[in-house]
Amino acid sequence: MDHLVSPSLLAADFGNLGKDIKMVNNSAADWLHLDIMDGVFVPNISFGFPVLEFVRKLSEKPLDVHLMIIDPDRYLSRFRDAGASILTVQYEACNHLQRTVTEIKELGMKAGVALNPHTPVTHLKNTLPYIDMVLIMTVNPGFGGQKFIAESYNKILEMRDMIDTGGYETLIEVDGGIDTGNAAKLIKSGVNVLVAGNSVFSSANPSDTILRLKNLT
């Protein structure tokens, strides 16, 4: 499978959100990534259902929604109704992870599980058969524009080995400090989906940056 690119809306211009969504629509991007933060699980607050519903009306790309919130089970159906196509929960926020990912899939969405930098990939060994995508956070979650954690490469390689050994079709997504300088190595390490925020929306030509990320091999 060719790798996918999912620009992160967290880095977009919220004073002109429609323009940035239109840019993504017309670009080579595959998905549109949205980070939902509650100010409790992570030290930041982003946006909620009204913004997500607004984005769904404008976006022609599937919405790749990452929940950085406590007790996500309370809101799974609401995120489906608001337009999420892929819904990712944090491993660290779920007491009954297998039940959570099963419910996400029963609601008709793809189920993802995110791992913070300190969380070993082996924690997903028994849940991996139920997961459509693993999001490996390559920065500590909460804020955009952080520096990529280099140790993430080893974590990605370990996750890729677990997936391949088990014969699963689980995708590996990465988020945090992703740009055209490290994306090629990430793809070679086994990454399927690149999330890029600042490197896209802060560039002189965001659409061209997305295309460059998409064309990397």
Q: Active-site positions?
A: 35, 175
3-state SS track over 118-185: CCCHHHHCCCHHHCCEEEEECCCCCCCCCCCCCCHHHHHHHHHHHHHHHCCCCEEEEECCCCCCCHHH
Q: Is 159 in contact with 134 (CB distance < 8 Å)?
A: yes
The CA-atom distances, in angstroms, between 102 and each of 88, 89, 96, 132, 148 are 12, 12, 10, 10, 31
State how far the Cα of 84 lies from the Cα of 79, in Å rounded to an integer. Answer: 6
Nearest to 104 by CA among 129, 85, 126: 85
Encoding tokens for residue 123? 């924690």
